[in-house]
Structure 1
Amino acid sequence: MAVSSVSRTVVKKVLSVETEEGAGALVRRSIGSMKLRNLTPFLMLDHFHVSKGAGFPDHPHRGQATVTYMLEGSSRHEDSAGHKGTIETGGVQWMDEESFTPRCLYMIPATQIRAVQLWIDLPKEHKMVEPSYQELGPSEIATAYPEGIDGPVEVKVISGKSHGVESPVRPLGGCWYFHVIFKKRATIFQDIPTGWTSFMYTLKGSVRIGPESIPHEPFHTLVLSSEANETGVQITATEDNTEVVLIAGEPLDQTVVQYGPFVMTSREEIQKTLMDYQYGRNGFEKAHTWKSEIGHM
């Protein structure tokens, strides 16, 4: 670690408890739960497991970006604007949403899925943009090797920059997203823009952050500090086969008013969204007639 590299530390730790949600999905939620309601610009973090034949019902969205990263299995998706496809293991779908984009996550037959889904608040000026998709298959996600290609660590660069490697994903608003995989015990330092909100979610194994001596076990969200002199975070895997996701985003100086899947900046905007949805206008034209094919097979 360079002399100028100063690590962030853990300022809050939240265990994600598994609960049932949707049509048979098992979800571990941290951000968006009562223990961690908002962490600007992040609204929700779900680590979910869906068995064959289950999924999430058709539902509308407005005002946030939804990022789905597939850890295991594959999932079909579809929306009212005609977008459809399959997210495979190691692939990602980054969807910026404003209008009616109901969709179902269903397994391809004989598979189950494990995935991480992140909701990111959109800047106020982007909340009414046309829906857009950025989808990358597993071979399209750039990989960084902090200690060389034969080293013990690889970093899947879903967005942002890591050890000289940059993702092609261009989010609305600043957001870096990494899947860090330690095949063996090792230590790396990941740069994070100063002042950005950052957190880590532990998937497998155990890690220590910065100078601390206590390791963190799986299924915990670790909120990191953001002091002016901190340039990134030092991550030490204390077990082989350790995996974490590390996410950082530019904080938004705006009010969050959320009503289910609608996220705006005032009660008036929420009321307008509900009226748009009720009367089928401003992007919700198919709200009461469209049904997904995959959700009704």
Structure 2
Amino acid sequence: MNAQIIERTGSAYVASGERRIVHRTTGQAHGSIRRLMSPGDLGEVVKPFVFLDLFEARSEFMGSMAIHPHSGLATVTVLTEGDVRFDDPSSGQGTIGYGGVEWMRAGGGVWHGKEMSRGSSPSVQGFQLWVALPPELENGPVDSQYIEAGDMPSVGPAHVILGEYGGRRSPVRSVDGTTYLLVTLKRGETWTFTPSKDQSVAWLGVARGSLDAGETVVATEMVVFDQGSDAITLTAGNERDAVFVIGSAIPHPHDLVTGYYSVHTSEAALEAGEANIAAIGQRMKRSGAMEQSGAVPIFR
């Protein structure tokens, strides 16, 4: 496991009924991206959540990424600051800012990386999350959505990005049994996250500010809570508002079999996904999509 991940063994006193932090990490920074979780480390602990990046950069960053493939997983991108533009044949044009979402279920294989472009803000900050898919979807059809903030439900300080929370359901076509929220708490504000009883996996990642979660969690940190169904009470620090994502899920009962950009449940599924990725890549080269400038819709 990554040496920067600290495992807690329960030495600190925790009141009955409270969720204890059992892992925490600041990940590894690579330029504008801080990788907080990968399938080979905390992804094994909190699967189906298997990968988490926190990015912060000038807005040009959104159009500078290389086109790359995925299979066997879904990607979820939310912004904690700034905005970006999307231009997609099936979703139309629009802006994704705080509270909006880009969702892509890679299924049997896609290439992407330039589907969003610079918005009106000079800089952006946000999270990209990967979610492992079950066997019936990991080599299945591709699906993608771009949903603006005004079309996303909220419950108190939380925007419901995936799943259902507080009686409000996200329009994102995600797998049942997963909840993912984008939350801002004002300075000193206390909020309690109550997961579904069957969603025993829980974690959070902080973009700005700090939280008291039994222990202090600061910006650029990700923490994992012990498995269970108890609520998690969080209080924002007094220095500034706290902006973070929090997720819970039914544990993913499958192995994580990984390629460079793919996550599957078996070697056979990975082989099928990577073969399809290679075939799509050849079609992209013949069409000239690899060299296309500006926004490029996902290629499936």
Correspondence for 1:53 among 40, 47, 60: 60
Q: 1:250 to 1:293 in 2, by over 3 A?
A: farther
Q: Which amino acid aligns with 1:29?
A: R
In the alignment, the residues of structure 1 paired with residue 277 and residue 25 of structure 2 have an alpha-carbon distance, to the nearest angstrom, of 35
Match of 1:29 in 2: 35
**Residue pair 2:163, 2:174 contacting (<8 A) in 1 also:** no
State the shift of 1:274 in Å. Answer: 3.1
Q: 1:78 to 1:253 in 2, by over 3 A?
A: farther
Match of 1:277 in 2: 277
State the shift of 1:127 in Å. Answer: 1.0
Match of 1:71 in 2: 80
2:101 matches 1:101: no
- Which sits farther off after the overlay, 81-90 or 44-53? 81-90
- Which sits farther off after the overlay, 108-117 or 259-268? 108-117
In the alignment, the residues of structure 2 paired with residue 205 and residue 51 of structure 1 have an alpha-carbon distance, to the nearest angstrom, of 20
**Residue pair 1:70, 1:87 contacting (<8 A) in 2 also:** no
Length, aligned pairs only: 270
Q: Deviations over 1:24-50 (max 9, x none)?
A: xx1111111765353310111001123
Q: Deviations over 1:70-111 (max 9, x none)?
A: 2223334578x8777554212101111122232324424773
In the alignment, the residues of structure 1 paired with residue 53 and residue 243 of structure 2 have an alpha-carbon distance, to the nearest angstrom, of 16
2:259 matches 1:256: no
In the alignment, the residues of structure 1 paired with residue 192 and residue 20 of structure 2 have an alpha-carbon distance, to the nearest angstrom, of 12
Q: Which amino acid aligns with 2:248?
A: A
In the alignment, the residues of structure 2 paired with residue 85 and residue 64 of structure 1 have an alpha-carbon distance, to the nearest angstrom, of 25
TM-score for the superposition, normalised by structure 1: 0.80
Q: Deviations over 1:234-275 (max 9, x none)?
A: 112232412221111222111111111122222233333333
2:203 matches 1:199: yes
- Where does the alignment leave 5 or more consecutive residues of structure 1 unmatched? 21-25, 146-153
* Structure 1 segment 203-242 matched on structure 2, within 5 A: 203-209=207-213, 212=214, 214-227=215-228, 230-239=229-238, 240-242=240-242
**Residue pair 2:195, 2:231 contacting (<8 A) in 1 also:** yes
Which is helix-richer, 1 or 2? 2
SS in structure 1 opposite 2:219?
coil
Q: Which amino acid aligns with 1:169?
A: V
SS in structure 2 opposite 1:60?
strand
Match of 2:71 in 1: 62
Q: 1:97 to 1:78 in 2, by over 3 A?
A: farther
TM-score for the superposition, normalised by structure 2: 0.79
State the shift of 1:172 in Å. Answer: 2.1
Match of 1:187 in 2: 190
In the alignment, the residues of structure 2 paired with residue 17 and residue 208 of structure 1 have an alpha-carbon distance, to the nearest angstrom, of 23
SS in structure 1 opposite 2:205?
strand
Q: 1:236 to 1:67 in 2, by over 3 A?
A: same
**Residue pair 1:66, 1:96 contacting (<8 A) in 2 also:** yes
State the shift of 1:220 in Å. Answer: 0.7
State the shift of 1:162 in Å. Answer: 3.5
SS in structure 2 opposite 1:199?
strand
- Displaced runs of 4+ in structure 1, greater than 4 A? 76-79, 81-87
In the alignment, the residues of structure 2 paired with residue 110 and residue 184 of structure 1 have an alpha-carbon distance, to the nearest angstrom, of 24
In the alignment, the residues of structure 2 paired with residue 103 and residue 86 of structure 1 have an alpha-carbon distance, to the nearest angstrom, of 17
State the shift of 1:232 in Å. Answer: 2.2
Match of 2:164 in 1: 161
**Residue pair 1:28, 1:47 contacting (<8 A) in 2 also:** yes
Match of 1:286 in 2: 283
Q: Deviations over 1:2-25 (max 9, x none)?
A: xxx9432211111134212xxxxx
